[in-house]
Structure 1
Amino acid sequence: MKKLFTHGALCAAAFVPALACAQSNVTAYGIVDATVRHQRNANANGDSLTSLGDGAYTGSRWGLKGSEDLGRGLKAVFTLESGFDPSTGTSQQANSSASNGSTAAPGGRLFGREASVGLDSPLGLVTLGRQYTLAHPLSGRFQAQPNPNLDAIAMFSSHHVSRQDNMARYYGQFGPVGVYASYTFNEGNGRGRGVGATYGAGNLDLVAYYQEINNAANTATRGITGVGGSYVVTQGFKTFLGYMKRNDRGTSAQENDVWSLGVNYNLTAPLVLTVSYAQDRQSNVNAGKRKMGYVGLDYNFSKRTDLYAEVDNNRLTGAYPQPGFMGTRNATGVTVGLRHRF
């Protein structure tokens, strides 16, 4: 990330007293991640498809972050983050209708990934706005690639919902323990609430969370429970294990049990191997299973630029609903991506 300008410098240029604004700054940052993907069984006829699109591991984005030291341990912060598809330049994260915590935005969203402002203090950080649900960043901590952007290798994010509008969120770090809480106000988008905790000591990182999401009409509730963690076995070798339970109440009785395991291993200093397997067992409604595995190699040219490739396979059994990226009940894909961070 690169510092774009300091508010103090602008104040000095405008002859505003430096004492009032010398501790404020804004940072511009982003990721441009483009991929070429070839997939077998991309449609019902079993045809193959080669396409150019957004990143497999991370979605492309640009954003602004800022903070101002208010004194006495207080700091004002904000984040504005916009997602886009590098293959077309179009904005991402639009919603044509209200659902699961997001109001309708048929014209798209300028800052669809996040738009929040908050206060940071020794007692914790409180932020307000469109933000990530607690389950999204916390579940990312027990996955080899945190909630991948490509549907074919993502499992948890399809259940827990990544973002919600009108959210108040809290985070506090007290020694090795992190405490999280969130509440989403219902303004035509559905109400939500969540709690979570983390524990980190040495090579071990543990995560637990629970969140509920109501639909816009408040006729159904989706409960998400997750536990998991990671462990650094040796330098350059890290293991991950996680479990999530989805329990729908109201208009649907769908239940899902999802678990995953994975490893990241540094083959050489710039080359990282990722291996991951996940399984989603759905019951009560359209009972069946989705089994997904992928292997990836990531070559780091520098701290900002890397070239990666992954091979994935998805298999469905029983009456498990067929995802949109699969043309048949068994699909294999290969992705090559180029990613640059700024």
Structure 2
Amino acid sequence: MNRLLLSGAATMISLAGAAQAQSSVALYGLIDAGLTYTSNEITGSRGGHSNWQMTSGAVQDSRWGLRGAEDLGAGLKAIFTLESGFNLSNGQSLSDNRIFNRRAYVGVSSRDYGTVTLGRQSDGMVDFVAPLSLTGTEFGGTHFAHPFDIDNLNDSFQINNSVKYTSPEFAGFRLGALYGFSNQAGGFTNNRAFSFGMSYVRGPWNFGVGYLQLNSAARTPGQLNANGAVTDTTASSLQGVLSASAVPLGVLADSQKTLGAGVNYSFGPAVAGFVYTQSKLTRFFQTNLSANFQNFEGNFRYALTPMVELSGAYTYSRAGGNGGGGIPHWNQVSAMADYRFSRRTDVYIQGAWQRVSPSGSSPLGVAWINGVSNPSSTTTQLQATAGLRHRF
């Protein structure tokens, strides 16, 4: 009898262990805090002043999340991710109306056929082009972004109501596509988004291309379809510069079409890269105004030792069209030095300098480094941060 009881208990323990191995949920996160100096920020009617402040997310947004998977057999898995960004300086969420403001999706993954997910997700520019830039990586991040992050390489906004497919890797290729629904009866295209991308890796070469299109019928934020694909309050807006809104400019236009491509080449402890993006906006604010933003980024990383990494980028950007009163262009130089205490904890020093050369009566005539609270009162702005980052 005792032998039977022991045998049954052993069987139950074995089955419980197998069930646990087939299903998992993990808590994860990243905390990025620093002290930031900005050379010039507009402060109301008093002009520009320098600023010393404690900041959160100078390189990567602080966030926490849950991710899980359940083995369904035959190479299939049910997966989910719930992720929320927050400001470490004051403990507040980065969004007033979302619990999981960065990502929230569920789906099914197949070893042979790829992954389908539904929810709030990143687009093809973020997935396929951003890793080849420094703004979309841990080696540069927020302040390295192109002006206003108009191309979304720094993941300033995510796509709601989206269905996404990502292929498995085959012969070095990986493909992806996404569609974000407007969720509006009688307004199928009013605040919708669609995107696709591809990457190819062969030896030391890494190529990526992405496309993102936003469509809307809104002229002002109050007219925006609030249940649509893009509703974020983000740093990618031109608020205070074009008196636009606190949402991405593309959802206040008939369309925003963003195309990007990049390449990285690895040699020894170094990686060199180049990224080009273009964003065309038509009839923003439902007028005849149009704009075309182009960004050219050259970047470089070098692992000085296994613990010390150096990185830098130069970006040239220009804006044209009939909405700017001219053709302003930006020059930005960014650099970062990182020291790793361990795989999870590091300290860094990073900085960015930007100069804008406006043309004609362009309202884009002042410098504004991405992630800095306010634009400069002049054509130049300098930012520097010393920070600590921890992953869990």
**Short-chain TM bin:** 0.7 to 0.9
Aligned partners of 2:26, 2:365: CA distance in 1, in Å?
43
RMSD after superposition:
2.2
How many residue pairs are counted as aligned between the two chains?
315
Amino acid across the alignment from 1:68: E
Higher helix share: 2
- Match in the other structure for 1:182: 178
Q: Write the mapping of 1:132-151 to structure 2, written as runs, cut at 5 A.
A: 132-146=122-136, 149-150=141-142
Taking structure 2 as the reference length, the TM-score comes to: 0.75
Please tell me the residue identity of whatever aligns with 2:183. Answer: E
Q: Is the 8 A contact 1:141 1:229 kept in 2?
A: no
Matches within 5 A, 1:18-97: 22-43=21-42, 45-92=47-94, 94=95
Unaligned runs of 5+ in 1: 1-11, 95-106
Q: CA deviation at 1:19?
A: 6.8
Which deviations, in whole Å up to 9, do the C-alpha atoms of 1:6-48 show, x marking residues without a partner? xxxxxx89xx977766511001100010011011112263321
* Structure 2 partner of 1:168: 163
Identical-residue share of aligned pairs (%): 30
Q: How far apart, in 2, do the equivalents of 1:21 and 1:300 lie?
A: 34
Which one is further off, 326-335 or 210-219? 210-219
* Structure whose alpha-carbon radius of gyration is higher: 2
Separation (CA, whole Å) in 1 of partners of 2:307 and 2:18: 45
Preserved CA contact (<8 Å) 1:41 1:326? yes
Aligned equivalents of 1:215, 1:321: Cα separation in 2: 27
Distance in 2, matches of 1:84 and 1:128, equals 23
For the Cα contact (< 8 Å) 1:136–1:160, is it kept in 2? no
Distance 1:83 1:183 in 2: 23
Alpha-carbon shift at residue 61 of structure 1 (Å): 0.3
2:135–2:141 Cα contact (<8 Å) kept: no
The answer to whether 1:124 aligns with 2:114 is yes
**Cα distance, 1:139 vs structure 2:** 2.2
As a proportion of its length, which structure holds more strand?
Answer: 1
Counterparts in 2 of 1:157 and 1:206: CA distance versus 1, 3 Å: farther
Contact map agreement 2:123 2:196 (CA 8 A) in 1: no
Who is 1:101 aligned against? none
Counterpart contact for 1:43–1:328, Cα < 8 Å:
no
State TM-score, norm by structure 1: 0.86
1:341 is the counterpart of 2:391 = yes
The equivalences for 1:102-251 within 5 A come to: 107-121=96-110, 122-146=112-136, 149-150=141-142, 152-155=143-146, 158-161=149-152, 162=155, 163-172=158-167, 173-187=169-183, 190-215=191-216, 217=218, 220-234=254-268, 236-251=269-284
Q: C-alpha separation between the residues in 2 aligned to 1:238 and 1:312? A: 20
- The structural deviation recorded for 1:53 is 1.1
Deviates more, 1:132-141 or 1:193-202: 132-141
CA distance in 2, matches of 1:63, 1:259: 33
**Whole-angstrom distance in 1 between the partners of 2:351 and 2:100:** 32
The one-letter code of the counterpart of 1:38 is: Y
Kindly indicate whether the alpha-carbon contact (under 8 Å) linking 1:39 and 1:48 is maintained by their aligned counterparts in 2. yes
Q: What do residues 128-187 of structure 1 show as CA deviations (whole Å, max 9, x unaligned)?
A: 00111111232222113426553x421177213431110111110222000110101002
Q: Quickly say closer, same or farther: Cα 1:156–1:182, change in 2 above 3 A.
A: farther
Partner AA of 1:259 in structure 2: F
Deviation at 1:321, TM superposition (A): 5.2
